[in-house]
Amino acid sequence: MNDILAVDQLDVRHGLLQAVRGVSFAVAKGEIVAFVGANGAGKTTLFRAIAGAHRPTGGRVFFQGNDITPMPAYDRVRRGIALVPEGRRLFTQLSVLENLTLAGAVRRPGRWDLKAVLKVFPNLGGRLNSMAGNLSGGEQQATAIGRALMTNPDVILLDEISLGLSPAAVGRVYDSLRTLIKTGTTILLVEQDLNRALSVADRVICMLEGKIAAEGRVQDMTREQITDAYFGLHRAAAQGAGT
């Protein structure tokens, strides 16, 4: 498989705080990669840097073989990268339909249009004229993902898609996500719910304090390895062995 996205030694700061430290990885076309880690591990900052919403202080981002590091976010959308941000960030005073069609203004050629989005998220069909701010959390998340799909991305970045949702709403979102996966879209996913993440991912990358602590294909990693990296227990064990 050919890599569609690659990150090389990426550094990203928030003022004096270095949130991402020398991160490198590559993603193959059609691959589903889950990023896990505790709050503050750098996952959201990494996704924002890939999408062009946060400028890195070092390293490079490559998309389809091209260096897009200096490229602004809107150009990355036109190239085929879409971000569903943490907290959804909808236009709450606009209707669902308006949120979706606004994204269609930068739509690339492809399979995703309003009809295709509603096929994946049928619960939005009766809510098109509702204000986005009046939707349930699950409906808002469906709208946010649908808005990203309306741009016809080759890579979609999903940041904390289950955050703040009821278990039933999370289940519906993941049912829709499995439908999306069948289309061959490349997906990078930040998820706190490890079970959910592992249920859909081909590969998992665990971040700790801005660095990659562990990574591998889901079937090749034990849950213990992932949770140890998640909490930094692998590092503590190594330090203990060295004393």
In a domain, 86, yes or no: yes
- What pLDDT, on a 0 to 100 scale, did the predictor assign at position 219? 92
Angular region, 192: left φ>0, alpha ψ -120 to 50, beta rest: alpha
Indicate which CATH number applies to the domain containing 82. Answer: 3.40.50.300
Asked, for residue 35, whether it belongs to a domain, the answer is: yes
pLDDT tier, 226 (very low <50, low <70, confident <90, very high otherwise): confident
Quick one: pLDDT at residue 15?
83
Instruction: Summarize the confidence of residues 166-194 as an average pLDDT.
Output: 88
Read off the pLDDT band of 238 (50, 70, 90).
very low
**Model confidence pLDDT, tens digit, residues 71-101:** 999 999 999 999 998 877 888 889 999 999 9
- Split at pLDDT 50, 70, 90, the class of 239 is very low
Q: Dump strand ranges (E) for the chain.
A: 3-14, 17-28, 32-36, 58-63, 66-67, 81-84, 155-159, 186-190, 203-208, 211-217
Query: What's the mean pLDDT when you consider all of the chain?
Result: 88
Q: Is residue 48 part of a domain?
A: no
Q: Is the pLDDT of residue 176 over 80?
A: yes
Q: Which domain holds residue 38?
A: 3-43+55-241
The reply to whether 183 falls in a domain is yes
- Domain presence at residue 228: yes
Quick one: pLDDT at residue 236?
45
Give the C-alpha separation, 112 to 146, whole Å: 9
The three-state DSSP-derived secondary structure of 103-122 is HHHHCCCCCCCHHHHHHHCH
Question: With b meaning 16 or more CB within 10 Å and e meaning fewer, what string describes 134-170?
Answer: ebebbbbbbbbbbbbbbbbbbbbbbbbbbbebeeebb
Position 49 in a domain: no
- The DSSP annotation for 191-209 comes to -S-HHHHHHH-SEEEEEET
Mean pLDDT of 21-48: 94
Domain assignment of residue 75, yes or no: yes
Q: What is the mean pLDDT of residues 170-176?
A: 86
Predicted local distance difference test score (pLDDT) of residue 228 = 85
- Characterize the bridge pairing of strands 211-217 and 58-63: unpaired
Share of the chain above pLDDT 70, in %: 95
pLDDT of residue 42: 92
Tell me if 205 is assigned to some domain: yes
Q: Which amino acid is at 177?
A: L
Contact 156, 84 (CB under 8 A): yes
Domain tally, the chain: 1
Asked if residue 45 has pLDDT above 70, the reply is yes
Question: Is 8 a residue whose pLDDT tops 50?
Answer: yes
pLDDT digits (tens, 9 = 90+) for 130-159: 998 898 888 898 999 999 999 999 999 999
